[in-house]
Amino acid sequence: MNSASVTTSRVERIAMGVTCVATVVGTDSQEIALHCLDLVEEFESLWSRFIPTSDISRLNRANGQPTAVDGRTLTLIHHMIAAHQATEGAYNPTLLPLQIAAGDTSSLINDRRTELPADATVFSQLSGIHIFHDGKVSLPRGMTLDAGGIGKGLAADLILQFALEQGADGACINLGGDMAINTGDSVGWDVEILSPVDPEVILDTARIAVGAVATSSLFARQRTSAGINSHLFNTSSAHDTNHTVGATVIANSAAWSEAWTKYAILSNPARAIDTLTSTGLAAMLVSADGHTTQTESWKTFTHD
């Protein structure tokens, strides 16, 4: 390969309600990066709860009837079920009724709204979801799904795979902070971890060559001082400065990084650190007073 032909291209676009950035290294980096962002919009058309024709919206309106969906949506639902089980229910994709009740009805970037069936309710188990051999899915009556963060994470994973298959030497797909990375070398790229308490503050910098990182915060979907604060529901006292308000997890996929951030935020901090450590994940938790706690393996991704 002629080294002079290798370029790095960075393109961004608003999709999935967030800023999406594709950074690609290779001979056709610009073309590949643009195709990556086209794929983001394709995944949004499949999984957005704000698009009536999406697979997720059609499933939510199906009243328990088997519904044909895209193969990538089947992959998403498999991930939802596995993440729900692995995190002991901390990751729960059926919380839409609570989100809607809290005022989270409209898109952050346009006038699209989420409409739920009258009998929509929260489920504590996902065992009622049936995936059929012919590619159809049925939800229990009253269950509604939200692709949310795990959808962004899975999309980042799949798009990174696409970029590499198209010949990229390295790439980073960043969908609103859910990042899938393969730099194509052993050096890695730096990822700045911002404080959920003060976004102007960089808490740490992680260097990742191959893997993924995701950050979740109780303030992730804050709209106004009078509006909703989050798509997570933490029962900790607002006056408890020790409870976790933000978490960053480094894993082998962005989908799993996302799922485990939910566990980290919604669990007792000490227990979360123990579980994340035993699971082999690197993580940093941030408390309401700005204090950070890391797993031991976090050090392997940071540098002075």
CB of 219 closer than 8 Å to CB of 194: no
Phi and psi (nearest 5°) for 217? -145, 150
CATH class of 3-40+150-301: alpha beta
Q: At what angle do helices 71-86 and 254-266 cross, to 10 degrees?
A: 30
Residues 6+ apart with CB under 8 A from 155: 16, 39, 40, 43, 47, 173, 175
Averaged pLDDT for residues 202-220: 92
- Angle CA 83–15–248, to nearest 5: 40
Q: Is the pLDDT of residue 229 over 70?
A: no
Helix (H, G, I), strand (E, B) or coil at 221: coil
Residues 6+ apart with CB under 8 A from 43: 16, 72, 151, 155, 158, 159
Mean pLDDT computed over every residue of the chain:
89
H/E element holding 246?
strand 244-251
CA–CA separation, 82 vs 186, rounded Å? 30
Summarize pLDDT for 52-87 with one digit per residue, the tens.
Answer: 999 999 999 999 999 999 999 999 999 999 999 999
Percent of the chain with pLDDT over 70: 89
CA–CA separation, 235 vs 73, rounded Å? 31
Domain boundaries, the chain: 3-40+150-301, 54-145
Tell me the whole-structure pTM to 2 decimals. Answer: 0.90
User: Superfamily for 54-145?
Assistant: ApbE-like superfamily (1.10.3980.10)
CA–CA separation, 191 vs 61, rounded Å? 39
pLDDT of amino acid 246: 95
Q: Is the pLDDT of residue 27 over 90?
A: yes
Is the Cα torsion angle 59, 61, 66, 68 positive or negative in sign?
negative
- Per-residue pLDDT band at 113 (split at 50, 70, 90): confident
Summarize pLDDT for 118-143 with one digit per residue, the tens.
Answer: 899 999 999 999 999 999 999 999 99
